């Protein structure tokens, strides 16, 4: 009886020892994982600093841009190319809007056409068009396209909050394109402005050919902005579906899975192994 009690006492000590060893191994594993994460972050920072600018022109390099070389995921690679084509179309639409405004302003009756089409002060509309469309090109590149490019390049290294920040910027860009395509905001040429030019009566002045020319300019601007809005909507929807699907797991979601696995290892595997060891000791 005493020997059995002593055996039981030794078994309890072995179980406690095994639990302590497992807990120590778990702490060491966590320290190693933290060190690995730190090293990976440092390598990523160094890699970003070593990326030499190569875009947009050889004589004017602003940032590094290489879709095929940096966006490895096939689905994201195609989506990034579509987004890039959409941004190029947006830059063309903004440029065309400025040129159309200048032609209509200086080609008409001292800006009378601008006031007729927009219903506001023609000089103010001219400056608004130049400012809004001129700022649209760099801002749209940085906030929605290059943001998408960066997130698709890093993929699992991007926190969830940055993805949602991009979704918000992309939605604003899409809404902006819809307003510009409609032509109902100051400084924008679109479908409404084209309709006003084509339906203009003799009170507007100048010849019918000039009115048709101005209407064609604004109509083409409306078509360009419509194509941009459709492209942005497609990119927004496809990116949202990818993010919500299995391919959209980001670093935070991955960390949750890893943390759950480590927690399972420390909270469940430890007692199970200790119990198995105790059972084997008792059987021995």
pLDDT per position as a tens digit, 107-134: 765 455 665 556 566 777 888 889 999 9
Do 225 and 190 meet the contact criterion of CB atoms below 8 Å apart? Answer: yes
- Where residue 177 falls among pLDDT bands split at 50, 70, 90? very high
Q: How many residues does the chain have?
A: 284
> Is the pLDDT assigned to residue 79 strictly greater than 80?
yes
| Residues 6 or more apart in contact with residue 203 via CB below 8 angstroms | none
Q: How far apart are CA 232 and CA 213, in angstroms?
A: 29
Contacts 24+ apart (CB under 8 A), 197-201: 197/113, 197/117, 200/116
User: What is the model's pLDDT at position 261?
Assistant: 47
* Better-predicted residue by pLDDT, 83 or 114: 83
pLDDT at 6 over 80: no
What are the two backbone dihedrals, phi and then psi, of residue 57, each rounded to the nearest 5 degrees?
-130, 150
Question: Where is average pLDDT lowest: 67-76, 217-226, 238-247, 268-277?
Answer: 268-277
Which whole number is the average pLDDT over 103-107?
82
Q: Does the pLDDT of residue 18 top 50, yes or no? A: yes
Q: What is the mean pLDDT of residues 161-184?
A: 91
Rounded distance between C-alpha atoms, residue 148 and residue 142, angstroms: 9
Residue 11's pLDDT is what?
65
Backbone angles phi, psi at 56, to 5 degrees: -95, -25
- pLDDT-based confidence at 178, cuts 50/70/90? very high
Q: Which of 10-14, 105-109, 132-136, 161-165 has the highest mean pLDDT?
A: 132-136
pLDDT band at 226 (very low <50, low <70, confident <90, very high): very high
- The distance of Cα 76 from the centroid of its chain, to the nearest Å, equals 11
- pTM of the prediction? 0.70
Do β-strands 60-63 and 55-57 pair in parallel, antiparallel, or remain unpaired?
antiparallel
Containing H/E element for 279? helix 270-283
State the average pLDDT for the chain.
78
Taking 50 as the threshold, does the pLDDT of residue 175 lie above it? yes
Element (H, E) at 61: strand 60-63
pLDDT at position 158: 62
Rounded mean pLDDT, 227-237: 97
User: Which residue did the predictor score with more confidence, 209 or 148?
Assistant: 148
The least confident of 20-29, 38-47, 141-150, 215-224 is 38-47
What is the pLDDT at residue 8? 52
* Least confidently predicted of 29-38, 66-75, 243-252, 265-274: 265-274
User: Residue 44's pLDDT band (boundaries 50, 70, 90)?
Assistant: low
Report whether pLDDT(40) > 60: yes
Contact criterion met (CB below 8 Å) for 120 and 187: no
């Amino acid at each position: 009886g005493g020997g059995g009690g002593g055996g039981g006492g030794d078994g309890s000590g072995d179980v406690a020892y095994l639990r302590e060893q497992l807990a120590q191994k778990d702490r060491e594993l966590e320290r190693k994982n933290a060190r690995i994460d730190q090293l990976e972050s440092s390598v990523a920072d160094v890699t970003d600093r070593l990326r030499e600018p190569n875009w947009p022109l050889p004589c004017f390099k602003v940032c590094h841009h290489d879709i095929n070389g940096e966006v490895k995921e096939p689905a994201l690679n195609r989506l990034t190319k579509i987004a890039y084509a959409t941004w190029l179309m947006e830059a063309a639409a903004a440029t065309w809007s400025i040129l159309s405004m200048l032609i209509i302003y200086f080609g008409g009756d001292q800006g009378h056409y601008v006031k007729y089409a927009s219903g506001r002060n023609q000089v103010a509309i001219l400056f608004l068009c130049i400012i809004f469309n001129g700022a649209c090109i760099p801002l749209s590149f940085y906030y929605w396209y290059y943001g998408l490019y960066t997130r698709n390049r890093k993929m699992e290294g991007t926190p969830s909050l940055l993805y949602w920040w991009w979704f918000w910027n992309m939605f604003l860009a899409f809404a902006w394109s819809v307003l510009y395509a409609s032509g109902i905001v100051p400084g924008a040429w679109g479908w409404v402005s084209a309709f006003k030019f084509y339906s203009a009566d003799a009170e507007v002045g100048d010849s019918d050919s000039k009115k048709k020319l101005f209407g064609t300019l604004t109509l083409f601007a409306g078509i360009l902005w419509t194509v941009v809005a459709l492209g942005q909507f497609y990119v927004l929807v496809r990116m949202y579906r990818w993010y919500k699907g299995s391919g959209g797991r980001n670093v935070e979601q991955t960390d949750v899975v890893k943390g759950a696995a480590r927690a399972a290892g420390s909270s469940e595997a430890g007692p199970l192994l200790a119990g198995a060891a105790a059972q084997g000791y008792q059987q021995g």
